[in-house]
Structure 1
Amino acid sequence: MLELRQYCLDKKGAAEDFPFGEDIHVMKVGGKMFALLATGENGLQISLKCEPDLAETLRFQYQAIKPGYHLNKRHWNTVEVDGTVPEQELLSQIDLSYHLVFKGLPKAKQQLIHS
């Protein structure tokens, strides 16, 4: 979990929050969630925003990727980090999630983050 957490926090303007309790790490940019990290009965899981068509494709491609747990299932996936999803794919999904959330921020907020 530490490596994924740090990868998320290394994103420009990223911050960590705990609105759902101390065991769920919520990564935000501009005050909006782009990743949720949690360790539960199924081990480490990370929930990430995704483009709807790609989200479905990934669910078919990898058994460890499921519709977002307690999130909008059209736009979010939850990944069981069990080694079956290649690390590079997982990192790419974090990058995409961050990008989708960032580009949805107001332009003024985007400029503050990237200044």
Structure 2
Amino acid sequence: MNHSAFLQYCMAKPGAEQSQKNRWNANQVKVGGVMFAMVDPSEGRLAVSVKTSCEQARRLRNEYREIVPSQNLNKAHWSTLYLDGSLNDSLVYKLVDGSYQLALGRLPENSLQEL
């Protein structure tokens, strides 16, 4: 997987919008103003960040050396995934789906109905 494929998958989600975070030189993907993914080219490796529960983040970081706490985000919830071929694409897609669902859970009911 590469950044382009990752962004394409994220942008296919209902209501997904992309924005640039100039301070970090990163592309953020949000739904209803709530971020659920970020592509960070400054890592020196193909890297993206997604949000999970604290428990899932700990489990993933223990299981995969390519998943680490995100540098610029809440380290308890946000994990950076290195997309250099070691992680299975299906795992990355599953984590994006979960992160998207967490973002939806933070939206007011009227915003959800618009999606």
Deviating 4+ runs (over 4 angstroms)? none
CA contact under 8 A between 1:43 and 1:80: conserved in structure 2? Answer: yes
Aligned-pair CA distance for 1:20:
2.6
**Aligned-CA RMSD value:** 1.4
Paired residues for 1:79-98 under 5 Å? 79-98=81-100
Gaps of 5+ in 2: none
How many residues align? The count is 113
Residue 59 of structure 1: which of 52, 58, 61 is its match? 61
Q: Which amino acid aligns with 1:64?
A: E
Give the structure 2 partner of residue 108 of structure 1.
110
Give the structure 2 partner of residue 77 of structure 1.
79
TM-score, structure 2 as length reference: 0.92
Q: Deviations over 1:42-89 (max 9, x none)?
A: 311111010110110000010010012211111111111111111100
Give the structure 2 partner of residue 99 of structure 1.
101
- Structure 1 pair 28–77 and aligned structure 2 pair: CA distance change class (3 A): same
TM-score, structure 1 as length reference: 0.92
Percent identity of paired positions between Structure 1 and Structure 2 = 34
